[in-house]
């Protein structure tokens, strides 16, 4: 238990680092608060290393902390919607246990963006925003694949650390 808390703390720090890197990259799909989703690496890793509960815990803690450090309350709202939706979808796909980590991560990326656009549409009170969705869909799939590849590589290298 103690060991696990230590690991989760380390992952939280890593996720915060990803958030910081993201805040330096001026890449936002043109939507305020919308990000690349690098931190999904951590969520994917935790889903495979521990489970949905641990992934959710670290994800939510990361969103709140990063929101106060690098963003604002608005950013937290966007991130929370994207983070929760992508966590939900990825948890389900991992639980079904028939999909490769790339598929899981791609779906996570897409739903991450879907969650954010849903909140943006609500905040702006406009359905016209969904005109962005094709781009966000493709973008989410692409970053999702990238994150899946990174997560798989990182997993291979740290899984021994966790067990040994």
Partner 1 sequence: MERKIGAADIVLFLLLLVLAALLFWRAFAYGKSGETVEITLHGKPYGVYALSEDRVILVEDPDRDAANIVEISGGKVHMSEADCPDKLCVRQGEISRDRQTIVCLPNQVIVTVYAAEESGFDAVAE
Contacts to partner 1 by CB under 8 A? 26, 28-32, 48, 98-103, 106-107, 110, 120, 124-129, 131-134, 137-138, 141, 152, 155-156, 159
Of the pair 83, 139, the CB lying nearest partner 1 is at 139
Complete DSSP assignment for 82-110: HHHHHHHHHHHHHHHT-S-HHHHHHHHHH
Instruction: Indicate the residue among 67 and 139 with the shorter CB distance to partner 1.
Output: 139
Nearer to partner 1, 60 or 133 (CB): 133
Q: Shortest distance, CB of residue 137 to partner 1, whole angstroms? A: 6
Q: What gap in Å lies between CA 95 and CA 73, rounded to an integer?
A: 32
Task: Give Cα separations from 103 to 32, 53, 110 (angstroms).
Answer: 27, 20, 11
Q: How far is the CB of 76 from partner 1 (least distance, A)?
A: 18
């Amino acid at each position: 238990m103690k060991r696990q808390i230590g690991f989760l703390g380390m992952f939280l720090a890593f996720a915060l680092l990803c958030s910081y890197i993201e805040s330096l990259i001026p890449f936002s799909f043109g939507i305020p608060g919308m990000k690349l989703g690098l931190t999904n690496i951590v969520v994917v890793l935790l889903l495979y290393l521990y489970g949905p509960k641990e992934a959710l815990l670290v994800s939510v803690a990361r969103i709140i902390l990063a929101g106060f450090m690098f963003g604002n309350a608005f950013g937290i709202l966007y991130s929370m919607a994207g983070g929760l939706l992508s966590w939900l979808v990825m948890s389900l796909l991992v639980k079904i246990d028939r999909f490769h980590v790339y598929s899981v991560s791609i779906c996570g990326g897409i739903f991450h963006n879907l969650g954010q656009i849903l909140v943006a549409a609500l905040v702006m009170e406009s359905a016209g925003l969904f005109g962005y969705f094709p781009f966000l869909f493709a973008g989410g799939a692409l970053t999702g694949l990238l994150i899946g590849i990174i997560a798989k590589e990182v997993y291979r290298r740290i899984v021994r650390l966790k067990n040994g």
